[in-house]
Amino acid sequence: MKTLLLSMAVLATSALSAFAAEPAKMVDTKMGKILATEKGMTLYTFDKDAKDKSNCDKACLKKWPAFHAAAKAKAEGDWTLVKAADGKEMWAYEGKPLYMFVDDKMEGDMKGDGMGGVWHVAK
């Protein structure tokens, strides 16, 4: 009986750890709820991207760094992985690739919102 209970506990723990945490979090701002990195840096979408495809080239990525995924990250639910122009995997939410803005220096900065009429905070 002890062996069975121990086995069930190990199985339950393994199953729970198999569920990956979401790569970003929703935070409350003056603009409502937006997506941000775990460190609180604002995430953005680019109007020129296609569903599940980044159209931000290498020069663009210098100003708008891709929100890269960890090496063993797995897509789940609304979170998918797409290739950035630098060849690395990046996160997309509901099919929209996600980026940070180089001029955002502190948690909560949203300096990139509305830039060029094509960059928007991710919601």
Dump pLDDT digits (tens) for 40-79.
999 999 999 999 999 999 999 999 999 999 999 999 999 9
What is the span of the domain harbouring residue 41? Answer: 21-121
- Tell whether 106 is covered by a domain: yes
For residue 35, give the nearest of 79, 71, 73, 74 by alpha carbon.
79
Check pLDDT > 60 for residue 25.
yes
- Tell whether 30 is covered by a domain: yes
Q: What is the mean pLDDT of residues 13-41?
A: 79
- Tell whether 12 is covered by a domain: no
Burial of 13 (0-12, 13-18, 19+ CB in 10 A): exposed
pLDDT of residue 109: 96
Question: How many domains does the chain divide into?
Answer: 1
Torsional class of 87: left (φ above 0), alpha (ψ -120 to 50), beta (otherwise): left
pLDDT of residue 18: 41
